Structure 1
Amino acid sequence: MKGKTHLVLGLAAGVTIALNREIDNFYMIILGTSIGSLMPDIDHPKSRINQKLLKYKNKSYKILFYTIIGMALLYIYSQTNDNVFLLAGVISILIGVSKHRGFTHSILGMFLFMKLGSNLVEKFGYYDIYLGFFIGYISHLFSDFFTKSGMEIFYPFSENFSFPVGMKTGGALENAIIFILGSYSFYGILKYFGLISY
């Protein structure tokens, strides 16, 4: 699926969860779902996130960029013994060396991201961002499972898994999903702020 589709899916899920929360929690959950819904595609050099991070949008530069960051984080871990740096370093290196819909689209990737997130919550708080991130991340994997390309759920094993009837990326069904869930999210936000009452 396209990045904007994942973003709309994550936003719709976030709005659903956040509707009965306080205003600060609402913002934090929406922020978390927005980031989480885009995060699995960080393994693609031309993803929305990498458009901001990578100077050169190609596979070689992606490998170099994330491997260097990962090694630096592992060095910091060796000096501090802080597991946050260990997890972040391992994740960064795996992002660098894996192909699209590999590590970040797998059970292993989801587990490591969630473990890193829980460690960060323990250190800094912001549980609602973590909750939103988790929801957004799951929504991304769930939606990619229904595309024809599938994903490597059991990475590092390279076999792709997908729903038997796959959806074409950028097709009419995906555009319909964007419209329906985008409208739902817009309605939910207006209702949350009391701009509509029905």
Structure 2
Amino acid sequence: MEGKTHIVGGIAAGALYLKTVGTVQPEVLFFTSCIAGALLPDICSPTSTIGRMIPLLDRLVSKTFGHRTITHSLFMLILTFMVFRLTHLPEAIELGIWIGMASHLVLDAITVKGIQFLWPLKIRVGIPVGIKTGGTLEKGILSLLTVYIAYVGYQIYLN
């Protein structure tokens, strides 16, 4: 998936959390963290949105592990959770980054390439007929996620 789809996916996942579980304060920090978390797994790609922001780290991770391996895995979700338990960051940051990362993995798992969710096992996890990155189906998903965000935003803030 493209960066813009991951950004909107992270916001949508955050909105889903607020709608189903409850509030996180401050919400602006929560949603900013959802966006950061949604971009973070692509630090393994020099051409990604976050890869272009942190050019040395992206190349190091890419050369060491490759694309859609460790950064797109259950191992990384668990490691991130454990690091957050040690650092005691505000809940809005911890939860937002973790939700954003999880949304990224879900979105990339439905692409043609899938992800190595069980890294270091080289098994790719995805759906049999994946979505082409940047293709028409991705644009449709982006549109649906945008409509969902508007719907939840209306229900939470204007209803």
Whether TM exceeds 0.5 here: the answer is yes
Equivalent runs, 1:142-153 vs 2, <5 Å: 142-153=106-117
Where 2:124 maps in the other structure, the secondary structure is: coil
Q: Which runs of 5 or more structure 2 residues have no equivalent in the other structure? A: none
Q: Secondary structure at the match of 2:112?
A: coil
| Cross-structure match for 1:86 | none
1:146–1:163 contact (8 Å) kept in structure 2? yes
Q: Distance in 2 between matches of 1:173 and 1:130?
A: 31
Contact 1:95 1:103 in 2 (8 A): no
Match of 2:27 in 1: 26
Query: 1:7-46 to 2 correspondence within 5 Å?
Result: 7-18=7-18, 20-21=22-23, 24-46=25-47
Q: 1:107 aligns with which of 64, 74, 97?
A: 74
Deviation per residue, 1:77-112 (Å, 9 max, x gap): xxxxxxxxxxxxxxxxx6661101011011212211
Aligned counterparts of 1:25 and 1:18: Cα–Cα separation in 2: 12
Secondary structure (helix, strand or coil) at the match of 2:119 reads coil
Q: CA deviation at 1:144?
A: 1.2
- Whether 2:131 is the aligned partner of 1:186: answer no
Q: 1:62 aligns with which of 36, 59, 62?
A: 59
**What is the TM-score normalised by the length of structure 2?**
0.85
TM-score normalised over the length of structure 1: 0.70
Of 113, 137, 145, 2:101 maps to 137
Would the aligned equivalents of 2:46 and 2:62 in 1 still touch at CA under 8 Å? no
Which secondary structure does the structure 2 equivalent of 1:161 belong to? coil
| CA–CA distance in structure 2, aligned partners of residues 154 and 27 of structure 1 | 32
Q: What is the distance in 2 between the residues matched to 1:140 and 1:99?
A: 17
Report the CA distance between 1:147 and its aligned residue: 1.1
Percent of aligned pairs with the same amino acid: 31
Distance 1:187 1:162, change over 3 A: closer
Q: Aligned residue for 2:90?
A: 126
Quick check: 125-134 or 99-108, which moved more?
125-134
Pairwise CA RMSD: 2.3
Q: Is the 8 A contact 1:18 1:29 kept in 2?
A: no
One-letter amino acid of the structure 2 residue matched with residue 184 of structure 1: Y
